[in-house]
Amino acid sequence: MLFNSLQYLVFLPTVFLLYWLLPQKARVPLLLVASYVFYCSWRPIYGLLIFGLTLGTFLLVPFIEKARLSETGKHIFSAKAWLTIIVSINLLLLGIFKYAYFTLDMVKGGLSLAGIDWKEPHLHIILPLGISFFVFEFIHYAVEVYRGKPVVKSFMALALFAGFFPTQIAGPIKRYQDFVPQLTEKFKFKWEYVDEGMQLILMGLAKKVLLADNLALVAQAGFAHPENFSSVDTLFITYAFAFQIFFDFAGYTDVARGSALLFGYKVPINFNLPYLAHNVSDFWNRWHISLSTWLRDYLFIPLGGSRCSLWLNYRNLFITMALGGLWHGAAPHFLAWGVYQGLVLILHKEYLRLLEFTGIAKAIQNNPTLAKVYHVFSVICTFHIVCIGWVFFRAENMKNAWDVIGKLMTVPAELMHFSLNQLTILQLRDPIIFPALIILIPGLMISHVVVNWLNDKSFYKNPPWAVQVGVMVALMCLLTIFSPDSSPRFIYFQF
Amino acid sequence: MSKPRRRSNFVTAVGLFMAANILLSIFTPINFNLYRFPYKGWAWWTFNDLRHHPETHNVALLGSSLMVSAVAGADANYLNRPLDSTTHHNAEYFDHKLKQKFGGEFHTFNLSAPGQMPSDAYLTLKAMLATAHRPDTVIYGVAPRDFIDSSMTNPTDTEPFRFLTRLVSTDECASGLFRDPLGRLEWFINRNLYLAHHGLDIQMKVGDYQKLLLDKIAYPPNGQVYDFWKRNAIIPSYKAGEFHPRSLMVLPMTAAQKSEQFRDNNAEYMERYSRPDRHTYSTQFYFLRKLVNLCRKERIELVLVNMPITKQNIMVLKPQLYIKFIGQLKQFAFDSQVSAFDLNDFCQYNYELTDYHDYVHLNAFGGFKFFDNLTEALAGNNRLASTMEISGQKLSRDRVLVENRIDIRPDEINNVFGQEIRDGRIKLKPNIEKALDYENSKRIGPKQQLSM
């Protein structure tokens, strides 16, 4: 069931009405049933997978706590062993469903290099929706219990933690300490839930349907046939994809958060104006926040984090980002994207060291005007560094990625003798989104700045009544008019 | 502590949104051209042609690509010139045969389209009647694929259906359109919510303004806007299947090319026949019945024709299923009192494999045979023969009448059909209205076919 489908438009109000009409004690079971209905609407058999994994985690995690409490540190290995078993089961399932084909391809490639012609078996595996997200939530739960947090006593609570339908398919990745206590709260119906929730849902759908789906046309054409476009066209196409993926995923997150809010639940935010980041490290504090904090807490820190030698710190960063890339998809171009992110993070740290060493950092700090100019320059540079990374992310394969990167590398040379005649996007009038990029891309960049300014003014906390109603009516009209017959799936559904 | 609110901004917004829709429905402030459609597929070109040619057509052909290929192939050879599929919607060879057989004048309009199913055929004929064309006879060529195509899920999924629902209402056949309540709900929303109903129209209007704006600030370099051909080369996946003038030409073929051009399409039909679905089958028969009723209501003679296909294709379908289909079609025709001919009766008709482009589509030579056989079959039925004779004579008389007594400039007629469709009704200029009234009154009564 997609958030941008009529099915969901019927499902959500039905669950909402039942939820608030039923007595308190029946609400959590209702949400659990609704979540399984939501999940099984795609492929009922995979309902068993999420159920089995929940049951396994529910039964095994208390052993970590028991081992930890009874042995008071003397036999900590035992708790560690339980943790290893639970994490291994989760990762094994993720590996089988997500990386089996990738592994076979790698083995086949390796063997063919050795001159062995091996025909890999066909496995008939279909990736279960959302597996990457709920597996990460289970691992987080097991690790937190190992670190001393309490276990979840109720199976229903743990099942709803992983299965909660607004966040089931593509996050945000929740923390059980934040979510599970909400299940025992006695929520009373408030109109604020409806208003804020529906506003988020409408905003999210607008981001997806009005912006991401239209920009997808550009990215699809540009990445499928880069040879048909000039270098400057390709730059616009890369910008288009940068905004497509942002609005697609941010749109999904808004709908998820809005849907949760309708029932009184709060789930974490995932984005904070990522394209206003002034360096790549800042970018990762603003982009897919629930994943980057998960990677930090459960991969980077266990690897040694930054409290170690510089080279070990770099190694940890590199491994974390490379695995983070692979988490997005079992394909070399996703791995390349992760490796690229790791490398630019390391380079950024080296760059900061260089600025410190030469005293430039202090000079910038001491001059407010220079600091402002430098900040703007940093934001622009960071955006472009991120955009180059998106090429690996979006490409069909590595060759395709290098073709596009190759085009982007020639942008400065093309700009030296640039003429509008070279721009293919200006000559297309159908679909109109191509020439509209000339206005849309700067508009979207400016919108980030405006939203940031409104955030600073706390506008969103208490917007005027008329503005809130006006925006909602406008969004309803726009979504009714521009909803295509078949809106594509959210990008992050495939992960 | 702040007091809990008793008023919801969202509920207020929903109220305003509904009010806006109601007001727009009442006042209909924007005029939309219902013939505008962003995707120029087969149905669009057919009706674009039909509305710009207001002359009387006394025969109409319905059917899938089987009929399309028979007509196009036969005509290309008969006229001995390439035919553009966007503009050639006549059946010149068939007209010639009918004239030869029954005398008078015949002017056939070919409404057949690739993939056309009975649900599409029903709406196509309904839309033809809505454009002030009422044929005396409709010949509908059917084949098993039209009732069981596994690549189609709902009748509403086809391109002709999406375009034609802009021209005619589907209220009376809504019960047959959907297999789940959600489909019906979507239909209900699109039917009753002004902004959803006219969403596509508003999108196109907004697109026009966007183009105007972009022409001002991002004018195409040297004024060169990429045409259909260049667009297809740059973004081939966009609007796949759309075609434009000169993009789909049918060329005359020689006898020597018969076997050269033959293509094995069994794999495609294995897929199409792979999941025969009872619901789709009964839905398509439901629409066939609607077509029969429509023809009866409009006093149109409907002739069902089982189209020739090869034995190899029947083997893909399975012979027992084919026999069952023929039996049900005959029973249906008998129950509905409709004339039906099995032009694929292997005992009676002899189509060679060289009469086909592939295992189902007739080529020019097969097309000739098909229309020869069809004409003979029509002549062999007394009722149909006299209907055809009367129809031929009537058109002959009408043509003389129109040419001699009613002075309408072609551009005036084009104007009529070009713009004034509003809320399902065609608004006519007074002088033309009179002229057409006169013509219509002779056939089916005042303005009957002008309202949808």
How many Å apart are CA B286 and CA B304, to the nearest integer?
Answer: 15
**pLDDT for res B151:** 72
Residues A183 and A231 placed together within one structural domain of the fold: no
pLDDT at A229: 92
* Same structural domain, A240 and A260: yes
* Residue B187 half-sphere exposure toward CB, CA atoms < 13 A: 23
Band of pLDDT at residue A279, cut at 50, 70 and 90: very high
Alpha helices in A298-430 (DSSP H): 301-303, 310-328, 332-358, 360-366, 368-394, 398-409, 411-416, 424-427
A471-487 mean pLDDT: 84
Helix (H, G, I), strand (E, B) or coil at A170: coil
Mean pLDDT by 10 residues, chain B (452 residues): 71 96 92 90 92 89 96 96 94 96 95 93 94 92 90 78 89 82 87 92 90 84 84 87 90 89 91 85 93 96 96 93 94 95 92 93 96 96 95 88 58 43 39 43 36 27
Residue A421: which domain range? Answer: 194-494
Counted across chains A and B, CB pairs separated by less than 8 A come out at 120
Choose the final residue of a domain: A189, A220, A250. Answer: A189
Clarify whether residues A141 and A230 are in a common domain: no
Q: What is the mean pLDDT of residues A92-105?
A: 89
Is the CB of A465 less than 8 angstroms away from the CB of B196?
Answer: no
Q: Is residue A66, in this structure, part of any structural domain at all? A: yes
β-strand partners of B302: B138
**pLDDT of A22 strictly over 90:** yes
The total number of residues shown for chain A amounts to 495
Co-location of A332 and A467 in the same domain: yes
Same domain membership, residue A440 and residue A336: yes
- Both tokens of A194, joined, read 């409806």
Do A183 and A277 reside in the same domain of the chain? no
Position A55 in a domain: yes
Chain B residue closest in CA terms to A7? B182
Q: Taking CB atoms and an 8 Å limit, are B231 and A428 in contact across chains? A: yes
- The per-residue pLDDT for B427 is 40
Nearest to A414 by CA among A235, A277, A213: A235
pLDDT at A434 exceeding the cut of 60: yes
Q: Does A106 touch chain B (CB under 8 A)?
A: no
| Residue B15 touches partner A, C-beta closer than 8 Å | no
The last residue of one of the domains, among A189, A212, A246, is A189
Helix, coil or strand: residue A242:
helix
Same domain, A350 and A366: yes
User: For residues B114 and B121, what is the distance between their CA atoms, to the nearest angstrom?
Assistant: 11
Residues A285 and A347 in one domain: yes
pLDDT at residue B413, as a whole number: 45
| Cα Rg, chain B, nearest whole Å | 24
**Is B23 an 8 Å CB contact of chain A?**
no
Among A189, A208, A229, which residue terminates a domain?
A: A189
| Residue in A with minimal Cα distance to B224 | A427
Place of tokens 């059909």: B417
Range of the domain at B330: 42-193+250-405
Strand ranges for B6-67 from DSSP E: 59-63
Q: Is residue B137, in this structure, part of any structural domain at all?
A: yes
Q: Beta partners for B305?
A: B141, B341
Are B210 and A436 an interchain contact pair (Cβ–Cβ within 8 Å)? yes
Per-residue model confidence (pLDDT) at position A150: 92
Long-range contacts of residues A23-30, Cβ cutoff 8 Å, at least 24 apart: A24/A186, A24/A187, A27/A187, A27/A263, A28/A156, A28/A157, A28/A160, A28/A183, A29/A156
* Strand intervals (E) in B281-327: 301-306
Nearest to B223 by CA among B231, B232, B236, B214: B214
Alpha-carbon distance B243 to nearest alpha carbon in chain A (angstroms): 14
Does residue B237 fall inside a structural domain?
A: no
- Please indicate whether residue A328 is annotated as part of the active site: yes
Task: Work out the burial of residue A181: count CB atoms within 10 Å of its CB; fewer than 13 is exposed, 13-18 middle, 19 or more buried.
Answer: exposed
From the list A421, A432, A477, which residue is nearest B211 (CB)?
A: A432
Hey, which residues does B110 pair with through a beta bridge?
A: B61
Q: What is the mean pLDDT of chain A?
A: 91
Q: Are B289 and B264 in contact (CB under 8 A)?
A: no
Nearest-by-CA chain A residue for B193: A480
Structure tokens at B27: 């006042």
Residue of A421, A424, A469, A478 to mutate for B, most B C-beta atoms under 10 A: A469
Q: Tell me whether residues A427 and B220 touch, CB distance under 8 A.
A: yes
Structural domains in chain A (count): 2
A1 domain residue, yes or no: no
Check CB contact under 8 Å for A438 and B4. no
Q: Does A245 touch chain B (CB under 8 A)?
A: no
- Contact: B235, A439; criterion CB under 8 Å: no
Residue A80 in tokens: 């560690």
pLDDT band at residue A495 using 50, 70 and 90 as cut-offs: low
For residues A416-422, average pLDDT: 81
Q: What is the mean pLDDT of residues A400-421?
A: 90
Q: Which two tokens stand for residue A310?
A: 């510089």
**CB distance B301 to B136 below 8 Å:** yes
Q: What tokens appear for B330 in the block?
A: 């005959």
Measured between beta carbons, the chain B residues lying within 8 angstroms of A240 are: none
Residues A467 and A344 in one domain: yes
Q: How confident is the model at residue A75 (pLDDT cuts 50, 70, 90)?
A: low
Question: A137 and A222, same structural domain?
Answer: no
pLDDT at residue A149 tops 80: yes
Q: Are B59 and B391 in contact (CB under 8 A)?
A: yes
Residue A172 has pLDDT above 60, yes or no: yes
The residue among B160, B211, B209 whose CA lies nearest residue B40 is B160
Q: What SS3 state is found at B337? A: coil
* Residues in chain A within 8 Å Cβ distance of B201: none
Chain A residues in contact with B222 by the CB 8 A cut-off are: 421
User: Are A234 and A352 found together in one domain?
Assistant: yes
CB contact under 8 A, A429 and B214: yes
Nearest C-alpha in B relative to A470? B13
Same domain, A129 and A199: no
Residue B61: strand pairing partners: B110, B139
Chain A partners of B225 at a C-beta cutoff of 8 Å? 427-429
- CA separation for the pair B448, B361 (Å, rounded): 37
Nearest C-alpha neighbor of A448 from the set A160, A207, A260, A130: A207
Who among B4, B10, B221 is closest to A198 (CB)? B10
Q: Do you find a cis peptide bond into A431, omega within 30 degrees of 0?
A: yes
Each residue's pLDDT tens digit, A322-341:
999 999 988 999 999 999 99
Task: Give the total number of structural domains in chain B.
Answer: 1
What is the interface pTM, i.e. ipTM, of the complex? 0.87
CATH of the domain at B178: 3.40.50.1110
Other residues' Cβ atoms within 10 Å of the Cβ of residue B415: 13
Which residues in chain B touch residue A432, judged by CB atoms under 8 angstroms apart? Answer: 207, 210-211, 214
List of chain B residues whose C-beta atoms are within 8 Å of the C-beta of residue A10: 182, 185
Element (H, E) at A282: helix A280-286
With beta carbons under 8 A apart, name residues in chain B contacting A221: 234-235, 237-238
Residue B180 covered by a domain: yes
> B434 in a domain, yes or no?
no
Residues facing B108 on adjacent strands? B59
Residue B135 lies in a domain: yes
* B182 part of contact set with chain A, CB < 8 Å: yes
Q: Residues A353-398: pLDDT tens digits? A: 999 999 999 999 999 999 999 999 999 999 999 999 999 999 999 9
In a domain, A75, yes or no: yes
3-state DSSP call for residue A139? helix
| B327 found inside a domain | yes
Report the b/e string of B362-372 with b at 16+ CB within 10 A. Answer: bbbbbbbbbbb
In a domain, A98, yes or no: yes
